A and B are shown apart, each in its own frame.
Chain A
Amino acid sequence: MKPRINPLGRDLLLALLFFALLLFLPPLLRGAFGRASVSYLSLGINALVLATLALSWDLLARTGQLSLAHAAFTGAGAYSTAILLRMADVPLWLGIPLGGVVAALLALALGSVTLRLYGIYFAIATLAFTEVLKTVVQELPTKIAGGAPGMNVTALFRPTLAPGMERWELAFVRNQGYFWVYAALLLVAVIISIFIQRSRLKSAFTAIRTNELVAGVMGVNPARLKLLAFVLSSFVAGTLGAVEAHRLGSVSPDGAFAVSTTVLALVTPIFGGLYTTVGPILGALVLAGLEETLKRTFADGYLIGYGIVLVASILFMPRGLVGLLSGIAKRLRRPGGGQEGGMSSARAMTDEPFTAPEETP
């Protein structure tokens, strides 16, 4: 019997390594590309935002709740921090997490009410919720929430020009700050995801997703766990929305609650690999990179290429990027027999709920 390294510990270590990489990426980029690193960081920020959006959505999807309300929570986070700032002068370091808390409370409310809705019924109910919330926010007194035009939001980072500094260096410092903040938020989401995947929660969530009735009979409490997933997912989404509000300088009903946010949140994990930690992140990086590459190569109609890639991805990699990669890895492993190593954590991070591990102790 081989001594097994604690998988949870291994995953956490990998996550910390990944975060360390992100930490050092900005100065590395600056060293390699100088001025252009500002642009790459800008793109990197958008990729990190997409990754966090995707992973937070995936957390909820693991319990079978396919939410079309993700924009409601990013929007709620954005508006909360803006309103708290305007009405009570709440400092940003407090307002941003509070945005997450408000979103989580909202999720608790929505989740409780929709516990008995499934599949497309649940999805439409959550969509309906988002639209109603958007209108409610728009109709709030203008002094509080700004009405249709919305509100200005203070920037999170506004570095000042030191003597001898060039303007692009100023932009770099600002982008670096945002990059680190988003990386930290992504790390939080990753840690939450790892703790779920490496605990009994993973099988519980999977059981609920597969057959909630049977899960209930098996001793799982579906209601409590579904709400837990909802709260965790929305806390991350709300905090993300709050940070975005401070980066982009304003909130408005149409911008904060845009359906396109929700659509991105669900498209990305499907592309990258559902119900895994790596999948949504990988999906975000690839999709963001793909779109930018297409944009730079083809001026007009580059989105047609993007659509073709999405269609092809489902046809040729139905289990997402992660499914594709683990399939390749499995085929590589086969000749050599069962090997411990990097694969088992990747495998545990992919969705294989009912297959027994290949090597028996």
Chain B
Amino acid sequence: MKRILATLVLAVLAFAAAQGVTIGVLAPLTGGAAGTGQAQKAGFELALEEINAAGGVLGQPLKIIIEDTKADPATGVAAFEKLMTEDNVEFIAGGYSSGVTLALVESFKTFQPIVSWIGGAVSGIGIDNFDGIEELLGQEEWFFHIHPWDYANTEASTAFQVYTGVDTVALLHEDGAFGGPGAAGAQALLEAAGMKVVLNEAFKSTLTGGTGDFRAAISKAAASGGEMLYWIAYDGDAQPLVSQVRELNYHPKYIFGAPPGWPSDFDKVPEAQCVTGMIGYLPNLPNPEAQAFLTSYQAMHGTAPDNYMAALAYANLWSYADAINAAGTTDQAAVIKALQEGTFRSPMGDWSFKPSIEALHQGFGAEMWFIFQFQNGVREIVWPVDISTSPLQTCP
């Protein structure tokens, strides 16, 4: 008798647990973008723990299923379709590679789950003959985009460059899909703001098969006499670039980099002194949410959150939890409404979805980016001035 009762109780509990909400996550856990994917996973795990400690979603613990896309389009499509038809999720989160996102467009439009995406920054706006993600998915009711669009980066960096007061800029960019369009956009904005772009030169990033020897491009920049060296490339390029600038005895007034992230330990590199960079999240952001995020992240994972993608992933999952709880149901129309109208939390502060150039629901824009400078081994925030922790210095 007792055994039957126990089984019944267990069955009821299992049934109840099975009613909880599951969110499907796509991330590049292995392969060339594994650093980003693992950072996203860390952010999702932290948010998951907090959400469930605060009562979960609709009274049940939230569950997530993270699928590895390997940053490969074919794998990404299969992973998404598994989430939709084997795991039967109704909500999709995550995302990184624009190539994977483009491959998913057809599948997204077929299944039309709610997609809240922290990747795929290639908007396509400003590139002729190319439809980027903002152009292809922006008008869909069920598509929410959190990561700033590529043009937001150039908006933010141009504003900073105007603030520095330089007249000439030497622009070095990696020759791939990130640096090429980015540099074109940057040059246009800089010239519109009255600055002279004395050099716009492509180089091969270490990410796409370069050996890390940038001396050719740097010597051209040195010869051009630009007051600011502005580089657009990847995190792995930061250290060789900066070291070789010193080695070649090039002394611009400012060195400004806009990679998607910065390598860990780069703060401690002496050659990084006076280098400025653009970033979306830093552990030493003064607002209380950043401090709390840093503390809990360190408690859970044992290291500081070095990759801003962890912060975006955290915001991604929390916004879902808050929206579904606010809607009180998993009904798609209700959750969409809650996502549209809600204000959500993140280590960068509160945020919400607003329309962008061609998208209905855009999370972060240029305001997410701020400029820091390596000063004596610390990443001091130097711009916007109202959140700065130290004034901007010129390089010797």
24 contacts between A and B (CB under 8 A): A39-B78, A46-B75, A143-B129, A146-B129, A147-B180, A148-B180, A149-B127, A149-B177, A149-B180, A149-B181, A152-B136, A155-B106, A171-B84, A171-B110, A171-B111, A174-B110, A175-B81, A244-B74, A248-B77, A250-B73, A252-B99, A299-B66, A300-B29, A303-B30
Instruction: Find residues 38-80 in chain A having any chain B CB closer than 8 Å to their own CB.
Output: 38-39, 42-43, 45-46, 49
Which of A38, A42, A43 has the most chain B CB atoms closer than 10 A to its own CB?
Answer: A42
Min Cβ gap B183→A in Å is 11
Total number of A residues with any Cβ neighbor in B under 8 Å: 41
Query: Could you tell me if A148 and B176 are in contact, using CB atoms closer than 8 angstroms?
Result: yes
The bracket for how many chain B residues form the interface is: 35 or more
Interface membership of chain A positions 226-263, coded 1 if the CB is closer than 8 angstroms to chain B and 0 otherwise: 00000000000000000010011110101100000000
Min Cβ gap B331→A in Å is 16
Q: Which residues of A contact B85 (CB under 8 A)?
A: 35-39, 168, 171
Query: Could you tell me if B130 and A149 are in contact, using CB atoms closer than 8 angstroms?
Result: yes
CA gap between A125 and B40 in the complex, in Å = 40
Q: Which residues of A contact B105 (CB under 8 A)?
A: 249
Min Cβ gap B344→A in Å is 27
Q: Does A158 contact B (CB under 8 A)?
A: yes
Q: Does B82 contact A (CB under 8 A)?
A: yes
CA gap between A49 and B73 in the complex, in Å = 13
Interface membership of chain B positions 249-291, coded 1 if the CB is closer than 8 angstroms to chain A and 0 otherwise: 0000000000000000000000000000000000000000000
Query: Could you tell me if B88 and A38 are in contact, using CB atoms closer than 8 angstroms?
Result: no
Contact of B112 among A42, A148, A167, A299 (CB under 8 A): A167
Q: Does A209 contact B (CB under 8 A)?
A: no
Query: Could you tell me if A152 and B99 are in contact, using CB atoms closer than 8 angstroms?
Result: no
Among all A-B residue pairs, the 8 with the closest Cβ atoms: A38-B85, A42-B78, A248-B103, A39-B82, A149-B177, A42-B81, A148-B180, A250-B102
CA gap between A353 and B136 in the complex, in Å = 54
Interface membership of chain B positions 57-89, coded 1 if the CB is closer than 8 angstroms to chain A and 0 otherwise: 000000000101000011101100110111010
Min Cβ gap A86→B in Å is 7
**Nearest residue, chain B, Cβ from A295:** B68
CA gap between A121 and B175 in the complex, in Å = 30
A-B pair number, CB within 8 angstroms: 100
Q: Does B140 contact A (CB under 8 A)?
A: no
Q: Does B107 contact A (CB under 8 A)?
A: yes
Q: Does B169 contact A (CB under 8 A)?
A: no
Q: Does A25 contact B (CB under 8 A)?
A: no
Query: Could you tell me if B82 and A148 are in contact, using CB atoms closer than 8 angstroms?
Result: no
Instruction: Find residues 128-158 in chain A having any chain B CB closer than 8 Å to their own CB.
Output: 138, 142-143, 146-152, 155, 158
Query: Could you tell me if B208 and A142 are in contact, using CB atoms closer than 8 angstroms?
Result: no
Instruction: Find residues 21-68 in chain B having any chain A CB closer than 8 Å to their own CB.
Output: 29-30, 66, 68
Query: Could you tell me if A255 and B180 are in contact, using CB atoms closer than 8 angstroms?
Result: no
Min Cβ gap B375→A in Å is 34
Query: Could you tell me if A255 and B110 are in contact, using CB atoms closer than 8 angstroms?
Result: no
Q: In the complex where A167-B112, A248-B103 touch, is A42 in contact with B82 (Cβ < 8 A)?
A: yes
Q: Does B122 contact A (CB under 8 A)?
A: yes
Q: Which residues of B contact A255 (CB under 8 A)?
A: 73, 99
Q: Does B131 contact A (CB under 8 A)?
A: yes
Extra 12 A-B pairs, beta carbons < 8 Å, given A42-B77, A148-B179, A167-B112: A39-B84, A46-B78, A86-B129, A149-B180, A152-B130, A158-B106, A174-B106, A175-B81, A248-B77, A252-B99, A254-B176, A254-B208
Min Cβ gap B80→A in Å is 8
Min Cβ gap A48→B in Å is 11
Instruction: Find residues 89-133 in chain B having any chain A CB closer than 8 Å to their own CB.
Output: 99, 102-103, 105-107, 110-112, 122, 127-131
Q: In the complex where A38-B85, A138-B175 touch, is A250 in contact with B111 (Cβ < 8 A)?
A: no
Min Cβ gap A106→B in Å is 22
Q: Does A170 contact B (CB under 8 A)?
A: yes
Interface membership of chain A positions 1-45, coded 1 if the CB is closer than 8 angstroms to chain B and 0 otherwise: 000000000000000000000000000000000011111001101
Interface membership of chain A positions 290-310, coded 1 if the CB is closer than 8 angstroms to chain B and 0 otherwise: 000001000110010000000
**Nearest residue, chain A, Cβ from B207:** A254
Q: Which residues of B contact A167 (CB under 8 A)?
A: 110-112
CA gap between A171 and B104 in the complex, in Å = 12
Min Cβ gap A310→B in Å is 15
Min Cβ gap A292→B in Å is 8
Contact of A248 among B73, B88, B130 (CB under 8 A): B73
Query: Could you tell me if A35 and B74 are in contact, using CB atoms closer than 8 angstroms?
Result: no
Q: Which residues of B contact A37 (CB under 8 A)?
A: 85
Q: In the complex where A39-B85, A295-B68 touch, is A250 in contact with B103 (Cβ < 8 A)?
A: yes
Q: Which residues of A contact B131 (CB under 8 A)?
A: 152
Min Cβ gap B295→A in Å is 25
Q: Which residues of A contact B179 (CB under 8 A)?
A: 148
**Nearest residue, chain A, Cβ from B109:** A158
Q: Which residues of B contact A43 (CB under 8 A)?
A: 78, 82
**Nearest residue, chain A, Cβ from B99:** A255
Q: In the complex where A46-B74, A149-B127 touch, is A249 in contact with B106 (Cβ < 8 A)?
A: yes
CA gap between A43 and B181 in the complex, in Å = 34
CA gap between A65 and B131 in the complex, in Å = 40
Min Cβ gap A256→B in Å is 10
Query: Could you tell me if A35 and B30 are in contact, using CB atoms closer than 8 angstroms?
Result: no
Min Cβ gap A74→B in Å is 12
